[in-house]
Amino acid sequence: MKKVALATLLLVAAACTQAPKAPTAKSYPIVDSLLKVMTLEEKVGQTVLFTSDWTVTGPTMREGYLDDIRAGRCGNIFNAYTAGYTRKLQEIAVNETRLGIPLLFGYDVIHGFRTIFPINLGMSCSWDVEAIEESARIAAREAAAAGLHWTYSPMCDISVEPRWGRISEGAGEDAFLGSLIAAAMTRGYQGDDLSDVGTVLACVKHYAAYGAPQAGRDYNTVDMSERWLREFYLPPYKAAIDAGALSVMASFNELDGVPATANRHLLQDILRDEWGFRGFVVSDYTGINEMVMHGYASDVEDAGRLAMNAGLDMDMQGASYMDYMVGLVRSGKVRESTLDEAVRRILNVKAELGLFDDPFRYCSAEREATETLTEDNKAAARRIASGSMVLLKNDGVLPLQKGKRTAVIGALAASKDDLLGSWRGAGEVESVPASILDAIREVAPVAYAEGAKEMGDDRSGFAAALSAARSAEQVVLVIGEDCQWSGEAASRSDIRIPGVQTELLEKLAATGKKVAVVLLNGRPLDLSRENELAGALLEAWYPGTMGGYAVADVLFGDFNPCGKLSVTFPRCLGQVPIYHYAKNTGRPYIHPEAKYESRYLDVANEPLFAFGHGLSYTDFEYSAISLSSDSFSGGGSIRATVTVLNNGSREGTETVQMYIRDLVGSVTRPVKQLKGFERVTLGPGESKEVSFTIDAETISFWRQDMTWGPESGDFMLFIGGSSDDVKEIPFSYAE
Ligand code: NOJ
């Protein structure tokens, strides 16, 4: 077929109205022009996304993706990066296909691209929304310089399921905090102008409710009421879309019996009709084909038909659209106008990215060399990593003293690789300047013993570890999970620390030494035994490229820990699911002697570490709450104020949290639900008033008739430094 110069189409397009700059992916004249001349095959090509052979992020590989690009069969590529390689692929698309439509390059930039930040669950524990936005901005700049246009993030899946390995990729259990983080990450990635070469397109995933798989097994069935879905699971996806995200990834799971990949209720009714989403929807990796295994489609062709007709625009890696869409349109099973809409949405985003103006604008070897892993990026990674750590327990062991003889124990202490966590983008272990052990060595004389690996039952290192501990003045034990034990396809049925690591802690504690335990892990763990044995417990997650230094900063007091749990830590797996916004039930557990109340016979109802928990090296004291008025009505509001005092001897940052309870509703309401927070930094002896506004939106919910709004009645308001450590005061509202 004759090659049509893209430049000609651009000239025609330029004569039409000017394209809008705001990230709305409205209509672009170039897209109209293209759609008029594209063949059916060329249209389908734009709905196809294949992986390169650079990175493996799923079960299949496709030979010959270069030929697919050349033949116009594949308009989008993921897992290919570097300015050089993306330029090479883009040249094929632009110079060797008839229309020269540029490729879109996607990649999983999840918690950093080259400079790796803490895993997302860790970052969410900073409650520092600006810092999280900054991490996304840095990741976007680094990724865009390597030729990438599109990141598969933010991951907006709320989860109360610690068995599920992907809980590590999200922002924890709470929709309010999760929404702020989802919006911040979207802003960080996309900036104000998607055509800016320092930004990338965000992809809101995994839509929807992928974080609620039954039994915590990845990809498993999800079923929940529409009310629960809307109140506790959907808000972060919506927040990212409201912040301008122009792509969405459908999740692998089914919801109410219909796979998300072809779920019209999710993709059309809610996403497009209710929320006004204007971008495109991509399947997850072979998600269309998997509808056959789900038992929802009879074969891959049928799956393609169902997905396209439900509003799924792009097929990731499945080749269902590539192989069958032309036939489906010709046979009338898919309307050509439906395909046109999908293509239009995809091309609009390519236009929004500026790819029709200059397809090579993102591939810049110069920017790649100068904007990647810069000192500023690394300094931000170090600060954000320290701010993400949660001091779960401290019996006065921390901070440690510099210069004192320190035993450092545990295989994980010496690992640079584990610091990066799973989904580490293009982060490389060679870029990690120091393990935890290396970093501690810079501030104290160290005796290192491996003691125990993170897996297996090898106890041969115990004796050396015990002897190192005995002759040390302070002892650090680093334990946890191998970093590949969280992330995709990494569910566990046991959420205790694996291997013989806890046994080693038992032996170390038996020496009489107080042990400071540093935890590297990607999920809430059952730390009941460690909590009994350790002198201090520092949850460091997988802290990223600068994680070794960041851990040492906290251990030795250069950084005063301020992280607060964004997810509840149970006492044991039997308590799961456990989360702070639980309902009261008709028989709440109140009387210790009562039998017929909602309780366990063998474990307390309370978690080991509650949502919002996190200690500091200083102490914060809260005054009683004062209210500007004890009631409000209609569109009015009240202010709730507390004075927070730093009662210790060093500066610290506290996250002041506000929760509410609606005492009686047309449907039952949580006993406590996060509705606001503010981070304050106070010097020793300093105090500050912190105020929250409570209005109708604060107390709104999905009422019995499934409308969103407030109801008149009595409420309880709570403010404190953790969901289980709050002051309370009643108020009322009249509609
Ligand atoms: C499958 C994962 O579920 C998704 O999160 C990821 O973005 C894609 N693979 C692409 O790697």
Cα 199 to Cα 81, 133, 208, 674, distances in angstroms? 15, 12, 25, 32
Q: At what angle do helices 300-310 and 320-330 cross, to 10 degrees?
A: 80
Q: Whole domain around residue 397: which residue ranges?
A: 375-575
Q: What are phi and psi of 363, to 5 degrees?
A: -85, 95
The percent of residues in the chain predicted with pLDDT above 70, rounded, is: 96
What CA–CA distance (Å, rounded) separates 448 from 709?
59
The 8-class DSSP code of residue 431 comes to G
Say if residue 199's pLDDT is above 70.
yes
Please give all residues whose beta carbon lies within 6 A of any atom in ligand 1, as ranges: 57-58, 108, 152, 205, 284-285, 488
Mean pLDDT of 121-146: 98
pLDDT surpasses 70 at 366: yes
**pLDDT (0 to 100) of residue 60:** 80
Buried b (16+ CB within 10 A) or exposed e, 571-603: bbbebbebbbbbeeeeeeeeeeeeeeeebeeee
What ligand 1 atom has the least distance to the C-alpha of 79?
Answer: 11
Domain boundary among 516, 541, 575: 575
Distance 284 CA to ligand 1 centre (A): 6
Q: Residue 309 Cα, ligand 1 centroid: separation in angstroms?
A: 23
263, 391: one domain:
no
Distance of CA 621 to the CA centre of its chain: 32
Q: Are residues 557 and 635 in the same domain?
A: no
CATH code, domain with 565: 3.40.50.1700
Tell me the CA–centroid distance for residue 209 and ligand 1, in Å: 15
592 or 126: which carries more pLDDT confidence?
126
CA-nearest residue for atom 4, ligand 1, is 284
The label of the residue with tokens 């005796």 reads: 447
Pocket test for ligand 1, best of 120, 284, 289, 422 (most atoms within 8 A of CB): 284
Average pLDDT for 380-389: 98
Average pLDDT over the chain reads: 96
Nearest CA-CA partner of 144 in 113, 101, 119: 113
570 within a domain of the structure (yes/no): yes
pLDDT digits (tens, 9 = 90+) for 324-335: 999 999 999 999
Could you give the strand order of the β-sheet that contains 315-316, starting from the edge strand earlier in sequence? 150-151, 104-107, 76-78, 48-51, 315-316
Q: Is the pLDDT of residue 61 over 80?
A: no
Q: Is residue 166 part of a domain?
A: yes
CA of 591 to the centre of ligand 1 (A): 47
Mean pLDDT of 716-732: 98
pLDDT at 62: 80
The pLDDT value recorded for residue 8 is 52
Is residue 600 assigned to a domain?
Answer: no
CA distance 644 to 135: 29
Domain-embedded: residue 316: yes
Same domain, 300 and 386: no
* Residue 495 near residue 525 (C-beta atoms within 8 A): yes
Indicate if the pLDDT at residue 24 is higher than 90.
no
**Residue whose CA lies nearest to ligand 1 atom number 1:** 285
Residues 340 and 423 reside in one and the same domain: no
125 and 565 in contact (C-beta within 8 Å)? Answer: yes
Is the predicted pLDDT of residue 19 greater than 60, yes or no?
Answer: no
Measured between alpha carbons, how far is 270 from 13 in angstroms, rounded to an integer? 33
Q: Are residues 530 and 668 in the same domain?
A: no
> From ligand 1's centre to the CA of 248, what distance in Å?
12
CATH of the domain at 181: 3.20.20.300
Averaged over 417-430, what is the pLDDT?
96
What is the rounded average pLDDT of the residues 727-735? 97
CATH number at residue 693: 2.60.40.10
| d(C-alpha 508, C-alpha 530), whole Å | 12
Q: Are residues 568 and 625 in the same domain?
A: no
Q: 634-670 b/e with 16+ CB inside 10 Å = b?
A: eeebbebebebbbebeeebbbbbbbbbbbeeeebebb
112: left (phi over 0), alpha (psi -120 to 50) or beta: left
Distances (CA, A) of 251 to 261, 281, 316, 435: 7, 11, 12, 35
Whether residue 17 lies inside any domain: the answer is no
Cα 9 versus chain centre, distance: 40
Confidence class for position 20, pLDDT limits 50, 70, 90: very low
What is the position in ligand 1's atom list of the atom closest to the CA of 108? 7
Can you name the residues that pair with 638 across neighbouring β-strands?
694
pLDDT of 7 strictly over 90: no
- Kindly state the average pLDDT of the residues 280-302: 98
* Residues marked as catalytic: 284
Residue 238's pLDDT band (boundaries 50, 70, 90)? very high
d(CA 576, CA 583): 15
Q: What's the CA gap between 390 and 125, in Å, rounded?
A: 7
Instruction: Please give the backbone phi and psi of residue 314, each rounded to the nearest 5 degrees, phi first.
Output: -135, 140
Judge whether residue 16 has pLDDT over 70: no
Pick from 203, 205, 315 the residue to mutate for probing ligand 1's pocket: most ligand atoms within 8 Å of its CB. Answer: 205
Same domain for 487 and 628, yes or no, is no
Q: Is residue 681 part of a domain?
A: yes
What distance, in Å, lies between the first and last C-alpha atoms of the chain? Answer: 67
Residue 168 domain flag: yes
Beta-ladder partners of 639: 693
**What residues have CB less than 8 Å from 433, skipping those under 6 apart?**
378, 545, 546, 548, 549
Q: Same domain, yes or no, for 225 and 321?
A: yes
Task: Kindly report the three-state secondary structure assignment for every residue of 637-658.
Answer: EEEEEEEEEECCCCCEEEEEEE
- 555 touches 476 (CB < 8 A): yes
Whether 100 and 170 map to the same domain: the answer is yes
- Name the domain count of the chain: 3
Residue count (the chain)? 735
pLDDT at position 735 is: 93
234 and 362 fall within a common domain: yes
Residue 246 CA to residue 275 CA, distance in Å, equals 12
> Phi and psi at residue 638, in whole multiples of 5°?
-130, 160
| Residue at which a domain ends, from 313, 342, 366 | 366
pLDDT of 213 reads 98
CB 386 within 8 Å of CB 392? no
Q: Are 379 and 349 part of one and the same domain? A: no
Q: What is the mean pLDDT of the segment spanning 51-78?
A: 91
Distance CA 675, CA 580 (A): 12
Residue after which a domain boundary falls, among 338, 366, 394? 366
Average pLDDT of 76-95?
Answer: 96
**Among 504, 547, 537, which residue's Cα sits nearest to residue 418?**
547
Is residue 516 assigned to a domain?
Answer: yes
Same-domain check for residues 381 and 351: no
Contact 350, 362 (CB under 8 A): no
